[in-house]
Chains A and B, each alone.
Chain A
Amino acid sequence: MSTTSASLEPTAPADVPPGPRTPGRGAWARARRAALPFGSLVVFLVLWELLAASGTWSATLVPPPAAVWDAFLDVSTTHDGMRGYNGTTLVEHLGISLRRIALGAGIGIAAGVVFGLLMGTAGWLRSLFEPWITFLRTLPPLAYFSLLVIWLGIEEEPKVTLLAVAAFPPVAVSTTTAVTAVPKSLIEAARALGASRWGVIRDAVVPAALPETLTGVRLAVGVAYSSLVAAELVNGLPGIGGMVKDAANYNNTPVVLVGIIAIGVSGLVIDGLLLRLERVAVPWRGRA
């Protein structure tokens, strides 16, 4: 073909790539997208302030936004010789908890991916493990936390284990689904190149299952996050969940709210990062 490549140049209209996608929908739409969440936040703060000022409930139950802001400053700095909350600043509490999540969810996700791959490729393994994983998934983390404390004590082990156990099922389930849903056509395409069974898994099954697996990872991190306070119920200080639990014991509602907001905001940030990772790692999602 090389001798006649000039005639093969894809110049005919039938053989040219599709044109670039249409540009954004304009500045107005973008401004509205940014303004709406911000506006709702402002409205929420105003309603909160009004509710607190109305005196319907005591300040212990519904502290005004300003009190929560003060609590935020208190737990973030050293004041009157007290460092943060219980000797640890908010950022440090958060950092310790994030480390627990990274470790626990990391272990759970790794195990979930391995189990998902095995269950997706071998039907009998799926029949063997699926009921157990479904059982585990329906259990609220608090249900097995006491057991973990009996077994593993009150140090890091039960907390990390709880987060791992909570993160495991969503990844295992989504990876299994993803692997079983890999198009047969791609598996055959790999075989047509001479791929062995292992080669097919490495070059077709794993990458094809990646988008949905990453969705499972995001889900798992979310579940681990929502189990954080449970994980830090016993001996959770320092730790953001432990801080919430401890402040609640003293009816310190502003600190409880600071802790909840910190958990929520950091969760949003992490989800945003995972979403970005997903976009970078699987740019073909929805395109092919």
Chain B
Amino acid sequence: MPSSREIPGAPAGADTARAGSVRLDHVTHRYGRSGETFTAVGPVDLTVPAGEFLVLVGASGCGKSTLLRLIAGFERPTHGSVRVCGAEPRPGVTAGVVFQTPRLFPWRTVGGNIDLALRYARVERARWPERRAELLARVGLEGTGKRRVWEISGGQRQRVAIARALAAENPLLLLDEPFAALDALTRERLQEDLRRETDRTGRTAVFVTHSADEAVFLGSRVVVLTRSPGTVALDLPVPLPRGDVDAERLRACEEFAELRARVSHAVKAAAAA
């Protein structure tokens, strides 16, 4: 997988410095200032090896989005350290981010939104048309480059947001409930596409959701968080086949149902605790 950026200050050779790996050491995060503070997350210790698809599950307000923001580098943890490829995370440099809503720039066309991402990824301007077409094709939006963002559907907008996050080719992809606002049919299709995309490129992914179903389908590992402050309640490997698999049969298999039930149970127990 081509990486268009060097990760600054990443020590070479160390295992935790491998492209896309994430390491959280005793991470705690508090909101608010002296007097009224609220602990959102922690303490959490978590290591995500390169190439893993980790899904963070938990009820609303368990701090899973906060954890993702810490990994993205939007915020610094109050205590502990976050390392991506062995270095301090920097938004847009160490990871691509997909938010709950597409957050496209309405003054730019679909293609223009991708172009902006390519510019920040320091891709040569001459290569933009080719890369733009390739990225749009990867999310199933061939030929929509000239469309205005309000002319396409909600599902298509989220696809553009994914393409935009893929543009920099950073080894890590962070997704914060990106499909929560979509209808069930669109959601399933996007889940299948995302699973295939990350398997194909070997990209590391951290995905936040409150759905046990989504977690088991997407993840190669599922971590359930307790209610705030969020700590790890269950750390479950998902040994389902990956790569080019029949999504329908996967969703229907017995093992899938069993894993989903375990995750669902853990989420409910964590929320009640």
Contact = CB atoms under 8 A, between A and B. Distances in A.
B85 to A, nearest CB: 15
Q: Which of B92, B96, B182 has the most CB of A within 10 A?
A: B92
A207 B107 contact: yes
B6 interface: no
A188 B103 contact: yes
Interface residues of A, number: 36
Interface string A1-38: 11111001110111111100000000000000000000
B218 interface: no
Contacts, number: 110
A185 B103 contact: yes
A186 B116 CA distance: 13
Interface string A183-197: 001101111111100
Contact of B189 (A2, A12, A188, A210): A12
B120 A193 contact: yes
B105 interface: yes
A79 interface: no
A199 B184 CA distance: 36
B137 interface: yes
B73 to A, nearest CB: 9
Contacts of B72: 192
A282 B106 CA distance: 9
B249 to A, nearest CB: 15
Contacts of A208: 107
A215 B141 CA distance: 35
A283 interface: yes
Interface centre among B72, B99, B153 (most CB of A within 10 A): B153
Contacts of A16: 153
Contact of A5 (B90, B140, B165): B140
Contact of B137 (A2, A194, A204): A2
Nearest to A18: B153
Contacts of B165: 192
Interface of A: 1-5, 8-10, 12-18, 185-186, 188-195, 199, 203-204, 207-208, 210, 282-284, 287-288
28 contacts: A1-B137, A1-B193, A1-B196, A1-B200, A2-B138, A3-B244, A5-B140, A5-B142, A8-B189, A8-B193, A10-B140, A12-B186, A14-B182, A15-B156, A16-B153, A17-B152, A188-B74, A188-B99, A188-B103, A190-B105, A192-B96, A192-B97, A193-B168, A194-B93, A195-B120, A208-B107, A284-B148, A288-B106
Per CB-CB distance, the 4 closest pairs between chain A and chain B, nearest first, are: A194-B92, A8-B140, A288-B106, A284-B106
